Amino acid sequence: MQRKLFTSIARTIGAAALVSAAAFTPIASANDEEGKLLFLKGAAPACAICHTLEAAGAAGAVGPSMNELQPDAARVLNALKNGIGQMPAYTSLTPEQMKILSEYVAKASRE
Ligand code: HEC
């Protein structure tokens, strides 16, 4: 009895997760667009000046290629917050912009 109840709850949650994942897809791609814009020109100085990211059409060669490094979002966020080597910290970006940009770079570098 307990088990049956659990299974049906799990099914309900599973279905809800599927529905909400589908509902959130357009939002995720809007963030991708914003992330790409931040990478290309929104952040100053633009990431694209120094980094290659093929999905964004960026071919900078001062810093490491994002396609080779394939950093996860936490690693990008750390570089944005603290700077690293010759790369400045991006204190003018809002936390939300930093999150969008980090997640975009992590995803786009694997495309
Ligand atoms: C002036 C050139 C320059 C700009 C602009 C720049 N970077 Fe960098 N970036 C570098 C250099 C150089 C490194 C390597 C630093 C080192 O390892 O000493 C680096 C490293 C990184 C790393 C790797 C960090 C690590 O943990 O190894 C990431 C991720 C990164 N940059 C993302 C970005 C993003 C996103 C932007 C735009 C907001 C950006 N960079 C803008 C020069 C730049």
Half-sphere exposure of 76 (CA within 13 A, CB side): 26
* Phi, then psi, of 87 in degrees rounded to 5: -85, 125
Expressed in angstroms and rounded, the spacing between residue 17 Cα and the centre of ligand 1 is 35
Mutation probe of ligand 1 site: the residue of 51, 77, 109 with most atoms within 8 A of C-beta: 51
Mean pLDDT (whole number) for 21-27: 53
- pTM for the model: 0.81
Q: What is the rounded distance in angstroms from the CA atom of residue 23 to the CA atom of residue 35?
A: 20
What residue segments make up the domains of the chain, in order of their start?
A: 26-108
From the alpha carbon of 105, which atom of ligand 1 is closest? 35
Nearest residue CA, atom 36 of ligand 1?
47
Expressed in angstroms and rounded, the spacing between residue 33 Cα and the centre of ligand 1 is 20
Nearest residue CA, atom 28 of ligand 1?
76
Q: CATH classification of 26-108 is 3.40.50.2300, yes or no?
A: no
pLDDT for 19 beyond 90: no
pLDDT for 86 beyond 90: yes
